[in-house]
Amino acid sequence: MKIKIYSDSTCDLSAELIEKYNIGIQPLFVEKEGEYYRDGVDIVPQDIYDYVGSGKGVCHTAAVNAADYSSLFEEVLKEYDALIYFNISSEMSSCYQNARLAAAEFENVYVVDTRNLSTGSGLLVLAAAERAAEGVPAAEIAAEMEELAEKAEASFVIDTLFYLQKGGRCSALVALGANLLKLKPCIEVKDGAMGVGKKYRGKIELCFEQYVKDRLEGRTDVDRHRIFVTHSGCKPEVVAHIKELVAGYGFEEVLETVAGCTVSNHCGPNTLGILFLRK
């Protein structure tokens, strides 16, 4: 059986990983001044930073509608026997509901709510691709991935609350207090939604170091097979240092990816996270 693995662009997988695992990507949309652009195709994070920096306003992300999903599924099934589609958490977007609505028209399309975002979703996408390569049936893979979704751990430390504030996800008062205290909050995904975890203080590079230690040191419940270091435009030397720190915790594979427009639009530049699976 030929199975195609597909995901929204929110999975933040690199072009190299997409090619290696033959992953299909459906771009979400970014709205800017009333015009809609395809994430990673017509618009990239730097375009968002430049626009926000100009003072003209902010961008907004938009879901893929059911009709577009239906067209996509129909086209993919001309070549493949089954399709497994991964969405950003249903708590964060209507993509999952729209994809499920479209999938109802087909017998062999399986839609998975990753309950996550960015490479928290990407971890599931790669795991599904590996299972498909092993010849596991699509329905079985989809069921496995729904269970695995509960074990994906995603978090990011952000350098500024400006983007969250402008996007309506953080009050001006909270942002002002954090900025005055030079706090760098950790944004965590729990129960499919984003929330604020530990707040760090000081230089962002030192905050990243402490964050990695807090997330990994002394834990016995971490799957050491694969971990992502995902960031939005951090300095190469900073990312390299974090990757080295992470590798010291015994991971077999440390993958670096750059966050796409969805994470970047909400968290802004100089954001970094480590994303992995629990046992």
pLDDT, residue 179, reads 52
Please check the confidence at residue 165 and state whether its pLDDT lies above 60. Answer: no
pLDDT, residue 224, reads 97
d(CA 276, CA 174) in angstroms, rounded, equals 29
Q: What is the mean pLDDT of residues 235-257?
A: 97
d(CA 21, CA 14) in angstroms, rounded, equals 11
Find where tokens 């059911």 sit.
66
Question: What's the alpha-carbon Rg for the chain, to the nearest Å?
Answer: 18
Long-range CB contacts for residues 141-144, cutoff 8 Å, separation at least 24: 141/3, 141/84, 141/110, 142/84, 142/110, 142/111, 142/112
Q: What is the mean pLDDT of residues 76-86?
A: 97
Which of the four pLDDT bands, split at 50, 70 and 90, describes residue 60?
confident
Cβ neighbours, 10 Å, residue 207: 23
d(CA 118, CA 10) in angstroms, rounded, equals 5
Find where tokens 């530049």 sit.
269
What pTM, to 2 d.p., does this model score? 0.92
d(CA 144, CA 131) in angstroms, rounded, equals 10
pLDDT, residue 166, reads 54
Which of the four pLDDT bands, split at 50, 70 and 90, describes residue 183?
confident
Q: Look at residue 190 and give its three-state secondary structure.
A: strand
Cβ neighbours, 10 Å, residue 244: 10
Cβ neighbours of residue 163 under 8 Å, at least 6 residues apart? 52, 58, 265, 266, 267, 268
pLDDT, residue 177, reads 45
d(CA 13, CA 35) in angstroms, rounded, equals 25
Which of the four pLDDT bands, split at 50, 70 and 90, describes residue 197?
confident
DSSP structure class, residue 60: E
All domains of the chain, ordered by start, with CATH? 3-28+63-149 (3.40.50.10170), 154-278 (3.30.1180.10)
Q: Do β-strands 82-87 and 109-113 pair in parallel, antiparallel, or remain unpaired?
A: parallel
Stretch among 93-102, 155-164, 245-254 having the lowest mean pLDDT: 155-164
Burial bucket for residue 56 (CB in 10 Å: 0-12, 13-18, 19+): exposed
The token pair that represents 7 in the structure block? 């995901």
Please check the confidence at residue 29 and state whether its pLDDT lies above 50. Answer: yes
Q: What is the mean pLDDT of residues 36-47?
A: 93
Q: What is the mean pLDDT of residues 215-240?
A: 96
Please check the confidence at residue 45 and state whether its pLDDT lies above 70. Answer: yes
Q: What is the mean pLDDT of residues 138-152?
A: 97
pLDDT, residue 175, reads 43
Mean pLDDT of the chain: 91
Backbone torsions φ then ψ of 3, nearest 5 degrees: -115, 130
d(CA 240, CA 186) in angstroms, rounded, equals 20
Is the Cβ–Cβ distance between 192 and 240 less than 8 Å?
no
Q: What is the mean pLDDT of residues 104-116?
A: 96
211-243: burial string, b at 16+ Cβ within 10 Å, e else: bbebbbeeeeebbeebbbbbbbbbeeebbeebb
pLDDT, residue 164, reads 62
